[in-house]
Amino acid sequence: MDTTHLDDIISRLMNVINSFPENIIVTKDEIMQLCDVFQEEVSKDETLMELKAPINVIGDLHGQFTDLIRFLKAVNYTEEKFLFLGDFVDRGCHSIEVLCLVYALKARYPQQFFIIRGNHECEEINRVFGFYDECIRRYDESVWKRFNATFAYLPILALINKKILCVHGGISPDLKLLSQIQTISRPLQIPCGGMVCDLLWSDPGSMFGWKPNTVRGMSHYYGEDVCIEFMERNELELICRGHEVVDGYQFKFNQKLVTLFSSPVYCNALNNSGAMMVVADDLTCSFVILKVDK
């Protein structure tokens, strides 16, 4: 798929603002080609990506496609860098368009767009929470399977200027040094426990140490004490993560950890804002806030 074709797909998708056309925007054949070129490009990125500021960070999107477009258009998306924290699919109605646009942008601008994996980029999860049904209804099972095959190649962590760690869920009791991440090979299936599972599933808690995450039924809660200890050991200034519904963004642990959520009016049920974090050259963080009526 050449750059002209990628530009055409990006243009078609970026022109969807308030309503979707009756006909499909991206054909099945184009999806399969997009998955091929995306997989080739994302495989070149390290499992722990080392990125440089300035960069824009986007959290969970969950199929809310027009919100993705609004974030991209809030800045010069063809020239600036972006990092996505995963959870592109499920819950919302347009997971396919979210993936197609992110994949096309990564293929077209591989040194500007970077992606880490969320817990919903997993067959066992997205079969249940909407993505499978969307693919079957609009295309067929082969589209769902091809997208899931690409998820296995997604990086797990990103480190901005060696100081801001970006992850979908959080830390793990099995992760002491970031150098451990480089031992993880891809393609990768998400296990039901252990370090990789924790990175995608864990949540900050209000207790000390670690405790089982009984709400999710997976992974752990981590307290401020073990989080700060991990950050000091790895010389970090901030952890940026997604995974939880908050009103745009929420700081915890004396502003050492921020949860970023980019799906406003989530599931057409909540009254939350969505946010994109803008990291400047000097690592100053500001936020683009998006709240829309749905």
pLDDT at 294 over 60: no
pLDDT for 60-111, tens place per residue? 999 999 999 999 999 999 999 999 999 999 999 999 999 999 999 999 999 9
* Whether 62 is catalytic: no
Quick: pLDDT tens for 177-224: 999 998 999 999 999 999 999 999 999 999 999 999 999 999 999 999
Q: CB pairs under 8 A, 24+ apart, for 30-35?
A: 30/1, 30/5, 30/100, 31/96, 31/100, 31/139, 31/143, 31/146, 31/147, 32/143, 32/146, 33/1, 33/5, 34/1, 34/9, 34/100, 34/103, 34/104, 34/107, 35/103, 35/146, 35/147, 35/149, 35/150
Which residue in the list 120, 168, 220, 243 is annotated as catalytic?
A: 120
Query: Is 193 in contact with 172 (CB distance < 8 Å)?
Result: no
Question: Topology of domain 3-290, per CATH?
Answer: Purple Acid Phosphatase; chain A, domain 2 (3.60.21)
Return the C-alpha torsion angle 101, 104, 106, 107, nearest 10.
180
156 has pLDDT over 80: yes
Model confidence pLDDT, tens digit, residues 32-64? 999 999 999 999 999 999 999 999 999 999 999
Q: Using N-to-C axis directions, what is the helix angle for 65-73 and 95-108, rounded to 10°? A: 40
Every domain of the chain and the residues it spans: 3-290
Q: Which two tokens stand for residue 201?
A: 């599933």
